[in-house]
Structure 1
Amino acid sequence: MRAIVILRRADDGHVDGEIKVDGDDATRAFSGWIELLDLLDRAANPPTIDRPSPD
C-alpha cells in the first residue's frame, strides 16, 4: 500500500490534511492524528466481501 499524505499544522498545534491511497480515486480529508491513523488502518486492511463458495 502506498499513500500520499498532506499535513497542515495550525498555530495551536492541531493537525489536519488529506490522504490519497493508491487504487482509490478519492482524496479523504482528516482532522487530527487519530483520524489519520484510522484512515491508514482501513486502507491497509480493507473490508472483505463475503462471497458464496462455488459448490
Structure 2
Amino acid sequence: SGKTATVDGVATKEIIPLDYLKRQAEGEGKTQEEIDARTEDGVEYSFVASGVKIEE
C-alpha cells in the first residue's frame, strides 16, 4: 500500500521557447502541420532530491 514520504531537494521549472521547440521539431523531421500546431512555449519541471524519508 502507499506510504507517506518527506523529500528534501530542489524543484525547478524551465520555460522552453517556442522558436527552439519548432526548430527541434523541424530537425526531427516533423511535418509542417505538426510544427505549426505548437503555439506556446514548453514547460519542463524537474526535481533533484537530496534526501527522502519514508514514514513507517
* TM-score in same-fold range (> 0.5): no
Higher relative contact order by CA 8 Å / sep ≥ 6: 1 or 2? Answer: 2
More helix by share: 2
TM-score bracket, shorter-length normalisation: under 0.3
Rg (Cα) greater in structure: 2
Q: Could you tell me the TM-score, scaled by structure 1's length?
A: 0.27
Higher share of residues assigned strand: 2
TM-score, reference length from structure 2: 0.27
